[in-house]
């Protein structure tokens, strides 16, 4: 994994988590060979690319932010060609907009890249991975309890205030 791919993955994670968290919660499931055995709907949605599914890979799952989620999306990592590396297939309970599809694909590829490059713990180390991602982003990304957690827009405003305070301290 080259440094530019890793840098791009960190940038994607850092810039897109708030938008992902505004509409979806994040979790993961795997390895894929067990998902394919236990979730016939997923296996059916991957029939045409079954030989490309990474058997020991983990799927990222996104649920819409209602108290009883109405939408479910599973992002599945696929072996890509040599130039493009890992690819992504989204399986959704309802049609996705192009914007949502692009957002979730980019975010999923970034997360898989960082795990594969050893920049983040493996998905099997779920608690450690979630802890690191929570510190880098917010618990907001992993929970439906919006009222208990600062929404992404408020977090952005708080960060801007800290940045302004830091730059005024530098001038003194």
pLDDT of 58-114, one tens digit each?
999 998 887 676 778 999 989 875 455 678 899 998 889 999 999 999 999 999 999
pLDDT value for 12: 95
Rounded to two decimals, the pTM is 0.78
Give the 3-state secondary structure of residue 40: helix
User: Considering only CA atoms, which of 88, 86, 123 is closest in space to residue 105?
Assistant: 88
Give the 3-state secondary structure of residue 163: helix
**What is the C-alpha to C-alpha distance for residues 139 and 125, in angstroms, rounded to an integer?**
17
Which of residues 4 and 132 earns the better pLDDT score?
132
pLDDT of residue 172 exceeding 50, the answer is no
* Burial degree of 107 (CB within 10 A; 0-12, 13-18, 19+): buried
Dihedral over alpha carbons 162, 127, 19, 88 (to 10 degrees): 140
pLDDT value for 154: 60
């Amino acid at each position: 994994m080259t440094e530019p791919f890793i840098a791009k993955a960190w940038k994607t994670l850092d810039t897109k988590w708030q938008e992902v968290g505004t509409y979806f919660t994040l979790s993961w499931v795997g390895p894929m060979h067990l998902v394919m055995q236990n979730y016939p709907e997923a296996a059916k949605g991957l029939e045409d690319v079954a030989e490309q599914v990474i058997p020991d890979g983990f799927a990222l799952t996104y649920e819409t932010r209602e108290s009883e989620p109405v939408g479910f999306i599973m992002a599945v990592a696929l072996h890509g060609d040599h130039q493009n590396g890992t690819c992504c297939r989204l399986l959704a309970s309802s049609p996705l907009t192009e914007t949502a599809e692009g957002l979730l694909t980019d975010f999923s590829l970034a997360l898989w890249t960082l795990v594969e490059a050893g920049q983040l713990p493996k998905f099997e180390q779920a608690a450690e991975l979630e802890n690191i991602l929570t510190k880098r982003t917010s618990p907001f990304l992993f929970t439906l309890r919006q009222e208990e957690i600062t929404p992404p827009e408020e977090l952005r405003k708080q960060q801007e205030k800290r940045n302004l305070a830091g730059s005024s301290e530098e001038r003194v």
